[in-house]
Chain A
Amino acid sequence: MKKNMKKSLTILISAVMLLYTLVGCGTGKEDENKEPVAQSGQQETAEVPAEDNDGASESTDGWIPEKAITIVVPYDAGGNTDIPTRIFAKYMGEYSDVDVNITNIVGAGGRTGVKEVMNANPDGYMLVLQSSGFAMQSALGVADFTYEDLDAVGYFLESSLALVVSADSPYETLDDLIQAARENPGTLKMGSVAGTLPLFAAMYLEKENDVTFNQVDLAGGSKAPELLSNRIDTYIDGFGAVKQYIDSGDFRCLAIFSSTPVEGYENIPTLDALGYENFEYLKQNFGLWAPKGTDKEAIAYINNLIKQASENEDCNSQLKEISYNAMYSTSEEHEAILETIYSDFSEAAAGIVQ
C-alpha cells in the first residue's frame, strides 16, 4: 500500500514537473517572444479577428495573410527601439485580419536578428526592423550584408538626435561648445558609444567645424548619469532618451539634428536653423525589411498596413509621448533612401576606418 502511494506520488510529481516544461514552451508560443525563427512557418497561428478590417480587404487582392506576421526586433525587449515598434505593430495589427507580433532576437549589434530573417522563408510572414545602425556597421566593415541583401518594405518611425549639456554648463549655444572645442582641441569630453548613430553625429560636428572632441566611449544606457555627475561635458542621444532630463531642468539641449523643430520644444534650435547641411543620414529612422525575394504583393500588403497605422491618431499620440513620430514611405522610397544613407555612411566612416 505504502509502496504504491510512493510510486504514484513520484509519477505525479514528475508529471507536474513535465507540465512546467510544457507551460514554459506554451508561454513562449503565446507571446512569440523567444521563438525559433526558422520554425515559425510551421507554427500554429493565433488568428484573432481584427475589429476594424475594412481597409485591409479593399486594397489587397493579391496577397492575404493566413497567419500572424512576425516582426523581428533585433534589440532588447523593452529598449528604446523595441517600445515604439511594439506600439506601431499593435496598430498595424488593427488593420489586418491577423496579428502582427514582435519577436526579439538579440545579438551582435542586431546582426543576429537580421541574419535570421535573411535566411527565413521569403513568404511575407517574417520581417525585421531596419535601423541606420546596419548601414553604419556595413560602412565600418562589421556587417557582411547591405540593404541589397534584403527587400525594403517601408519606413514607419522617425526621431531626431539631440545634443545636450548639463544645465549648469558654461555652454549656452552650440557655437559656445564648438568654440571651446576649437580653443582646447581634444579635451572636451563627448560621451558616445562605438558604432552608434550618435558617434557619427559627433564625427559630423567635428568634420563640419574642423574641431576634435575627446570621444569618451560609454556603454549603452549609462550616458545620462555621466552627464548628471559632470564627468563628461556633453553627449548626443535620441531626443526621446534625453527629453525627461530636459523637462526636469537637469540638461540643456543645444541642438536637434533635424530640419524641423520638435513639437513643444520650438525654442531648441535645429541644425538646419544653425546653418548646417547634409545631415539627413543622421536621422534616427526605422523601417522594415523582408527577406530577399519576398512576394511583391505581400510587401505591398504590409506597406499598406504601415500607411494605415501611420495615419491612426491614437498611434501618433502614443508615439509622440515617447518622442517618436510615425512616418510612411513607399517601399521604393525606402529603398532609394537606404541607398543614399549607405553611401553617406561609408563616406563618413572613411575617416575612422583608415
Chain B
Amino acid sequence: MEFLEILSNVLNPQCILLIIAGVIIGNVFGCIPGLNGPIAVALILPITFTLEVIPSMALIMGIYMGSISGGLVSAILLKIPGTAASVATTFDGYPMAQNGRATDALSYGAFASFFGGIFSAIVLLLLAPILANMAIGFGPWEFFGTAILALSLVCSMMKGRRVKAFIAVAIGLLLKTVGMSPVDGVAVRYTFGNYMLENGFNLIVVIIGVFALPEIIYNVGNIHAKEKAAKVDKRWIFIPKLREIKENLGVMLQSSVIGTVIGILPGMGGGAAGLISYEQAKRTSKHSEKFGTGYEPGIFSCESANNATSGGALVPMLALGVPGDTTTAIIMGAIAMQGITPGPLLSIQQPEVFKTIIFIVFVANIVLFLFQISTIRFMAKIIKIPKFLLFPIISIFCVIGIISIRNSMFDLFSVFLFIVIGYVLDKNGYPLSPFILANVLGNILEENFRRAIIYYGNFGSCLQQVSIGTLFFAMAILVPILMILLDRRKKNKEGQQKA
C-alpha cells in the first residue's frame, strides 16, 4: 500500500515534468564550465518555496542528478571539464572523441552515469541508517588519513612521473592555504591585505584556469588545422553494446563503490571520486598503458563514480541532517523551508517522505539517462562547429561561470594566475590531476589534521590511535615507496635479461 502511495506521489504529470525540467537545467549547468550544481540549485531555491514538498524535491533532485552528469559532455567533446567531477573524464573521453568516436564516448558516459546513480540510490534505500552511523565514526584523524591516502595513491599511479606528481600536489596544497585558515577562522594567510583573497581561490577558478582556458588558447593556435571528420551516426538513441557493458561491468561496480563511499564522507565530493576511481581502474586494469589514449574503462570508471557520490552524499543528509557536499547543503535548506527537518527523525517519523525522496532519485536517474542518450546526436555536433565560432562562445561561458561564483572581477583576474601555473606545470611534464585533487582536498586535509591534533594532543599520539586513519596514513607512505621499489626491480630484471 505504502509503495503505491509513493508511486502515485511521484509518477504524476506535475512531478515527472518537474524532474524532466530539473534534469535539463542541471545538465546545462553541469555542461557549462563554471556553472555547476550548487549554483543551479541556489538559483532555483526561491521557486521551490512555492511548491509542495514532493514537487519541490522532484525539481531539485532532477537538477542535482543532472548537474553531476552534465559535465561529461564538455569533458568528452572539448576537453573542458564542466565540473570538478568530470576532470578524469577528459583523460580518455577527449582522445576517444578525437579518434572519431564522440558518440560512443558520450553513450559510455551516459550509461556509466546511469549505472553509478542507480547503484548509489539502491545503497541509499537499503543501507542509509547503517552507513550514516559508520560515517559518524569517521573523525578528523580518519578524514585526514583518507585524504592523504587519496593524494598519495593518485601520485603513485603516475608511472615515471611520481616525484613530479608529488611536487604538483605540494604546489596545489600550498595554493590552497591562501585565505582564511579553515580551523581558527581568524588567521588570514597570504592575502597581502586584499580582502578578496580571504576566501582563497575558488575551485571553479582553478579548474577553468588550469584546464579550460589553456585548451582554448592551444586550439586558437591551431585554428586553421584540418579537423578529422567525426562520424555522427544518425541514430536517435545511443546505448553501449551489451558486450561493452559486460566488459566494463567490473570497472563500473568498483568505481560505483568508491564513489558511494566517498560521497558518504562529508566534504569529499565528486571531484575526488572521479580522479581516485580513474586511477584505481587504471591500476587494476590489465591494459593500464591504454589509459589516456581513449580507452573505454577510463570513461566508465570516472562517470560511474561521480554519479555514485550523489546517492552517497544524500545518506548523511537524510539520515543525520549533515550534508555530504555543497549541493546537498542547499537541498537541506530547501527541505527545511518546507517544514521538514532532515535528520535522525525523518525516516522514523515521516518514512513516506524519506522513501519518496529516494524514489525521486531513481526516477531522476532514469530520466537523466533517457535525456542523455537521446540528445547525444545533437550534442556530438558541437565539435563540428567551426573553432572560430566555438571557442569565443566557450570563453564567454567561462567568464560567466567565474563571475557567477560571487560577482567578483577579482576572481576573473586571478584566473590568469592559474593559466600560467597550469601551462608551466603541463609543459614541464607535471601531471595536472594531482594538482587538482590537492585543490579539492586541501581544506579537508588541513582542517582535519589540525582538529586531530587538538583531539589527541600531538602528532605522535595521533599515530598511536588504533583506527583506520592510522592505517590509511601508513599506506599513504608505504604505497609510493613500494611502487618505486617494485619498478626498480622490474627494471633491473629487464636490464639483466637484455645483458
Contacts and interface: CB of A to CB of B under 8 A. Distances in A.
Interface string B439-451: 0000000010011
A221 B329 contact: yes
Interface residues of B, number: 64
Contacts of B336: 78, 83, 322
Interface in B322-378: 322-323, 329-334, 336-337, 339, 341, 343-345, 348
B483 interface: no
A55 interface: no
Nearest to B403: A36
Contacts, number: 165
A217 B321 contact: no
B471 to A, nearest CB: 18
Interface string A90-131: 100000000001101111110110010000000000000000
B454 A105 contact: no
B46 A31 contact: yes
Given A194-B186, A221-B323, A228-B136, A82 B333 contact: yes
A112 B406 contact: yes
B199 to A, nearest CB: 5
B46 A78 contact: no
A1 interface: no
Contacts of B332: 78
A219 B385 contact: no
B431 interface: no
Interface in A1-42: 6, 9-10, 13-14, 17-18, 20-21, 23-25, 27-28, 31, 33-37
Contact of A217 (B199, B345, B451): B451
Contact of B321 (A17, A24, A90, A244): A244
Interface residues of A, number: 68
Interface stretch (B37-45, B270-278, B294-302): B37-45
B443 to A, nearest CB: 8
B404 A34 contact: yes
Contacts of A31: 43-47
B440 to A, nearest CB: 16
Interface string B29-52: 000100100010111111101000
Given A28-B404, A216-B454, A221-B323, A86 B337 contact: yes
Contacts of B186: 140, 142, 194-195
Given A111-B195, A195-B186, A224-B320, A34 B400 contact: no
A24 to B, nearest CB: 6
Contacts of A6: 384
A207 interface: no
Contact of A107 (B184, B198, B266, B397): B198
A216 B343 contact: no
Contact of A318 (B139, B320, B339): B339
Interface string B88-121: 0000000000000000000000000000000000
25 contacts: A6-B384, A13-B381, A24-B32, A27-B43, A31-B43, A34-B39, A36-B407, A77-B45, A77-B333, A79-B333, A83-B336, A86-B49, A102-B46, A105-B406, A115-B195, A194-B185, A221-B329, A222-B322, A228-B136, A231-B139, A244-B321, A245-B321, A247-B345, A322-B336, A322-B339
Interface of B: 28, 32, 35, 39, 41-47, 49, 135-137, 139, 180, 182-186, 195, 198-199, 266, 316, 320-323, 329-334, 336-337, 339, 341, 343-345, 348, 381-382, 384-386, 389-390, 393, 396-397, 400, 404, 406-407, 447, 450-451, 454-455
